[in-house]
Amino acid sequence: MTKIAQGGRKLRKNWGPSWVVLAGNSLMFYREPPPPAPSPLWAPTGSRPESSVDLRGAALAHGRHLSSRRNVLHIRTVPGHEFLLQSDQETELRAWHRALRAVIERLDRENPLELRLSGSGPAELGELSAGEDEEEESEPASKPLLRLGGRRSSGRGPEGAEQNRVRNKLKRLIAKRPPLQSLQERGLLRDQVFGCQLESLCQREGDTVPSFVRLCIAAVDKRGLDVDGIYRVSGNLAVVQKLRFLVDRERAITSDGRYVFPEQPGQEGRLDLDSAEWDDIHVVTGALKLFLRELPQPLVPPLLLPKFRAALALSESEQCLSQIRELIGSMPKPNHDTLRYLLEHLCRVIAHSDKNLMTPHNLGIVFGPTLFRPEQETSDPAAHALYPGQLVQLMLTDFASLFP
């Protein structure tokens, strides 16, 4: 699996193995393999998804034009996120194609109109629908699918011709809609919180640390510092996703596949993480870690990773700390201030390690791969898995020196 677009912004391909789960209306991606026996929660025990996709309004197509690999599926979601799925087994990919198409068509039938007002810009719409009519009869199993509600007709007979005419009129209508970027620039549509560029989010909120990060850390400071395995133990995935969708003003998917909407716009500003709904503190820590993982660019800029690694390799302790302090100071202010705010909180977690058992080493293992995430796959994944945790551990033990 690889993600090739975030909110309409193209990303570099970064193929990696993934365990993909289709549950209800969502597609979830896990890094860990499935358990030996089926889990009642449809997720590997003790694992957390790298990302998840709401399939309502999604477009499904074969991705042969987007990758040189064989057997590739292309998924585009309403917010403009795009994924490629690839399997060496053609039969397996066909089975996924049928399953995903069935879910998307069901969601279109249940909510046929709301989708028309969402999605990508006119150019992207044309890309998805290009060649649709030409392939309709020759390659019925591999044609791109533009989700416009209802079952696709064969194009034969008066009824099929009428449906094609209606579908083409709807395409032209949607193509006239202003692109997502222009709506955002005019203030008619606000960005989400999860998956938003850190600089844009902070600028929008008028602060250098996102308010959601402050909310989560305040909740953990208040009632989570003494909890055994804080940040190491995963929270309930369904509740974490409900919190995430609530903050993003999106619909939250319940366990039975229904949609739940925030009662009022701007609800995340009044979000009370101390309410009974979020009484499991691991849900709060899980949402905070998910926020950090879904940043389009890691909290520590990828261009600085080689320099951090080189500084860590220095044998002289004072020289090592001096270079790392200089690198931290060179980070953009939102990145620097958010990193400082997070690490200062983790120092308070360590102060209670006699109860929560979370040492600098343990927190380095948890946060290292997220904070020091490479922009693309490395040629030496084993080496990369080691030094991020060491860097976080060093920053925690020498916090006062590195953040004067």
pLDDT of residue 189: 52
- Alpha carbons within 13 angstroms on the beta-carbon side of residue 219 total 25
Residues near 107 by Cβ (< 8 Å), separated by ≥ 6?
A: 25, 55, 56, 57
Could you tell me which of 1, 92, 106, 91 has the C-alpha nearest to residue 53? 1
Start-to-end C-alpha separation, the chain: 42
Q: Which long-range contacts (CB under 8 A, 24 or more apart) does 292-297 make?
A: 292/367, 292/370, 292/371, 293/50, 293/51, 293/370, 293/373, 294/51, 294/194, 294/195, 295/195, 295/197, 295/198, 296/6, 296/7, 296/9, 296/11, 296/195, 296/196, 296/197, 297/197, 297/198, 297/375
Q: Is the dihedral of CA 248, 13, 85, 134 positive or negative?
A: positive
Could you tell me which of 234, 233, 252, 235 has the C-alpha nearest to residue 243? 252
Digit-by-digit pLDDT tens for the chain (404 residues) are: 998 888 777 888 888 888 888 887 788 888 776 555 444 444 444 456 677 788 888 888 888 788 888 889 999 888 788 899 999 888 998 899 999 988 888 877 766 534 333 333 333 333 333 333 333 333 443 444 444 444 444 445 666 777 888 888 887 777 666 665 565 555 545 557 888 889 988 988 899 999 999 999 999 999 999 999 999 999 998 999 889 888 876 433 333 333 344 444 444 446 788 888 899 999 999 999 999 998 988 999 989 999 999 999 998 999 999 999 999 999 999 999 999 999 999 999 999 999 999 999 999 999 999 998 876 655 555 556 678 999 999 999 999 999 98
Check if the beta carbon of residue 226 is closer than 8 Å to that of residue 348: no
Chain centroid to Cα 282, Å, comes to 19
Dist. CA 397–CA 253, nearest whole Å: 40
Check if the beta carbon of residue 107 is closer than 8 Å to that of residue 118: no
Check if the beta carbon of residue 164 is closer than 8 Å to that of residue 137: no
Q: How many residues does the structure list for the chain?
A: 404
For residue 23, which phi and psi values (nearest 5 degrees)? Answer: -135, 120
Check if the beta carbon of residue 261 is closer than 8 Å to that of residue 204: no
Check if the beta carbon of residue 348 is closer than 8 Å to that of residue 227: no
Q: How far is CA 338 from CA 201, 248, 302, 331, 360, in A?
A: 12, 20, 16, 11, 19
Check if the beta carbon of residue 187 is closer than 8 Å to that of residue 204: no
- Look up the pTM and report it: 0.54
Q: Where are the alpha helices (DSSP H) in 29-138?
A: 90-110, 122-129, 132-138
Helix (H, G, I), strand (E, B) or coil at 14: coil
pLDDT of residue 183: 56
Output the six-digit token pair for 43.
């997720």
Please, what is the angle between helix 157-175 and helix 122-129, to 10°? 150
Check if the beta carbon of residue 6 is closer than 8 Å to that of residue 81: yes
Dist. CA 329–CA 321, nearest whole Å: 12
Instruction: Check residue 277 and report its DSSP letter.
Output: G
pLDDT of residue 110: 67
Check if the beta carbon of residue 103 is closer than 8 Å to that of residue 147: no
Output the six-digit token pair for 85.
């799925």
Helix (H, G, I), strand (E, B) or coil at 209: coil
Q: Where are the alpha helices (DSSP H) in 224-316?
A: 237-247, 281-293, 305-312
